[in-house]
Amino acid sequence: MKMSIVARTTTKLVAPFLTTYAAYLMIYTTQSPGGGFQAGVILAVALILLITSHGYKSVRKYFRKRVASSLESVGGLATITIFFLTVLLFLRPSEVYVVPANVFIGLKVGAAFTLMFYALISVLERD
> Would you list the domain boundaries of the chain?
3-123
pTM to 2 decimal places: 0.83
pLDDT at 7 over 80: yes
pLDDT value at position 14?
Answer: 94
Least confident of 6-15, 55-64, 103-112: 55-64
Q: Which of 113, 125, 17, 105 is nearest to 68 (CA)?
A: 113
